Amino acid sequence: MPKGPSLNPKDKRLAMAVEDHPLDYARFEGVIPEGEYGGGTVMVWDIGTYELEPGERFEDAMRRGRIVFTLHGKKVKGGWTLVRTSGRKWLLMKRRDRAASETLDITTAKPRSVLTRRLLAGIARDEGGDVARAATGDPPRA
């Protein structure tokens, strides 16, 4: 998600499908060299669990191109919907619930890693990455 999630149910955020990653990567923070798949600074911005809408099977939801789920993260919570628009492109939308907010920008309000409390630029600095890029435009990766 280039812009990160929005808690505002009116917003639709682009989310690109990527290949499945090994679970070992779930807690990786550091720098992937430019030119390699996923190259850039990597942050664990949020962590938690999810559950699908009751009675839903993930395979069926994927095939239909509409996945309804609830997140139980440290930063992002509540109901969400992913809708496929074409190919690998999806739209992520917050459902209206107690965790929704039309005013709070969660990525600005909580920019730090849930694992190390570092900012993206700090991870780049500590791990030998491009600090300027991380500070201005290298999007957080969860």
User: With b meaning 16 or more CB within 10 Å and e meaning fewer, what string describes 5-42?
Assistant: bbbbbeebbebeeeeeeeeeeeeebebbeeeeeeebbb
- As for how many domains the chain has, the answer is 1
DSSP bridge partners of 30: 42
Answer yes or no: is 5 within a domain.
Answer: no
Answer yes or no: is 3 within a domain.
Answer: no
Answer yes or no: is 7 within a domain.
Answer: no
| pLDDT band for position 10 (cuts 50, 70, 90) | very high
Answer yes or no: is 49 within a domain.
Answer: yes
Answer yes or no: is 125 within a domain.
Answer: yes
Bigger pLDDT: 34 vs 141: 34
Answer yes or no: is 117 within a domain.
Answer: yes
| pLDDT band for position 142 (cuts 50, 70, 90) | very low
pTM exceeds 0.75:
yes
Answer yes or no: is 131 within a domain.
Answer: yes
For residue 67, which of 51, 45, 78 has the smallest C-alpha distance?
51
**pLDDT for res 13:** 97
Bigger pLDDT: 2 vs 65: 65
Domain holding 101, by residue range, is 13-136
Average confidence score pLDDT of the chain:
93
Answer yes or no: is 8 within a domain.
Answer: no
pLDDT at 137 over 90: no
